[in-house]
Amino acid sequence: MIISALVVALDQLTKLLVSANLAPTDQVAVLPGFLDLVLVRNYGAAFGLLAGQTGLIIGISIAGLIVIFLFLRYVPPANNLGTVSFALIVGGTLGNLIDRIRPPHYVTDFIRVHLHPSFSWPTFNVADAAITVGVFALVYYLYKSGVFQRDHEQEQKP
């Protein structure tokens, strides 16, 4: 789980640097018109859902980690893609979980991507990016391993 540890370390380091160098009203254009650094305190989950429900979000995160570890114990990934996808998800979940457990119980988001002049993707952080990449990699891994095909074939039998 070196990858998970690297994700947690990079996530916590970048959050620390952003928090130390940006005020909530600051906006630094890294790639003007496309990528900015901003400081957002997210008291909810993805996209600000469940704002103020810190205990529930912590419980869901811990339950998800337990499910992943049980799955990995009984059905270990068959290749590196499966291993890396789970490691990214675990690392990202732990990165945000640390923020939620540590007072003042919010996740620091700081990456804002502009998809259109009038629309920006909700602000996110390294942990969020790791979870997202991990989930897409996991879906691809499951697809390549034939899980979806076997399920489809089961549904087609009379």
Catalytic residue among 11, 36, 99, 128: 128
Catalytic residue among 11, 36, 99, 109: 109
Active site residue 109: yes
Which candidate, 82, 95, 86, 87, places its Cα nearest to that of 127? 95
Number of H helices, E strands in the chain: 5, 4
- HEC sequence for 87-124: HHHHHHHHHHHHHHHCCCCCEEEEEEEEEECCEECCCE
**Measured over all CA atoms, what is the biggest interatomic distance in the chain, rounded to whole angstroms?**
63
User: What value, to the nearest 5°, has the Cα angle with vertex 125 and ends 123 and 131?
Assistant: 110
Both tokens of residue 100? 């939620």
Query: CA 66, CA 32: separation in Å to the nearest integer?
Result: 41
What are the catalytic residues?
Answer: 109, 128
